[in-house]
Structure 1
Amino acid sequence: MVQMFEPFRRRRSPQPPYEPPLSTHQLWQVSLSAPVNRGREASRTTLYPFRHRDDAEAERWLREEWEIPGREELLYRLDDLLREGYRAPLRAQTGADPLAWDVALYVDVVRKGYAAGHLDAPTAWQLLSATVMPTVAAYDSWQAFATDYLLVRKVWMEGLRATPDEGFPAPQAVSDAHLRTLLDPANPTSPWNRAPWHVISLPDRPL
């Protein structure tokens, strides 16, 4: 007997919680995680990390990818990313202090922690503000930030060769292409064009 199915209907994803409009400084801070937010589901212009509400996905991602089951572990990992992170053993290989990789991950984890309910909005913004001074001291443009991010990603990819995790990350070409779209001055959707590097040094204002 042939079973009849109703025509497939796409379910509308629930909207994310109300997010007040960001200021120029807030968008700049959120935009530090833009290199790691490549998927279509990602929001690059709100504190909430997804276009549609998916708190469960944020919680799953923190637990499975970072082994972060709660607030205490989240704050510990964030502190480590700013103090040492993944860049510490890479200093000898790169000849620099490649902060961009750790900052991008840090901001991404803060935003996921907010979505998972481990952080409220004021705490999340306080944590994101901690990235501003070291990042501005290390870089003078989004181009410089992106170059350092890609440098460390390549070293990280090399370290995964011949390991069970070799196929886990997206190919380097995918990351390279994503960074090009973020840096493209003709791309109106790039948060880096909406919040140019220098705005963090200017008085904050609504977008």
Structure 2
Amino acid sequence: MHRIDSAGATVGGLFKVTPLPATRVDADWLNAVQEEIITAIAQLGGALPDKESQHQLAAAIIAYVAHAKGNVERVITDPLGGNSGLDGGASNQLLVAILAMISRGLNQAITVTVDPTTSERTISFLGGLAILKLGYYRETVTSEVVRNVAFALPFPNSCWSVLTQGVIAAPSIYRDLWVQIVPGSTTKNGFQAQFQSDDDNDHALSGFDWWAVGN
């Protein structure tokens, strides 16, 4: 599209009658207008140009708006996230429906399972692409010993890494053991933890919390 630029047009590309000469309408400008309208009709999904019709542009716009409105209504009333019906008095139905669908998608992408016996939590991302397990081991340990920890629900494939954090039942300078993972002991079924002390006088620890990552 372009502004009229034929003989008699103003500097700004407008039509005029006076002062003479009046603007001359040329073929370039008329063709540009014609093609702009035909392109709009086609892009909006309208019918092919029809010499006998004088409302094709309006019909194409009305049909497009109706289609868009239908799509919006389907989102709002979608059983996966929308309302049961349209509410003419609500201004945020579409936003609420979209947010609900996003939330549902996240819920499907991230699942959480809790073992009722051990309280071990398993968080699975994207169908098991990555899995995070959280659990704890409780025992008053007073010497440098090794303890086995079995996952309530083993990893399907492998455990990549385990992290631990020692815990104490109450503040005390004598609860100074710490926990290390025994090298090579980590499998999809569990791991071994070694309680360590910094001197020959073993003290105590009340257990530890652990986090395991795998798939």
In which range does the TM-score fall when normalised by the shorter chain?
under 0.3
- Find the structure with the greater CA-based Rg: 2
Tell me the TM-score normalized by structure 2. Answer: 0.16
Q: Which structure ranks higher in relative contact order (CA pairs < 8 Å, sequence separation ≥ 6)?
A: 1
More helix by share: 1
Tell me the TM-score normalized by structure 1. Answer: 0.17
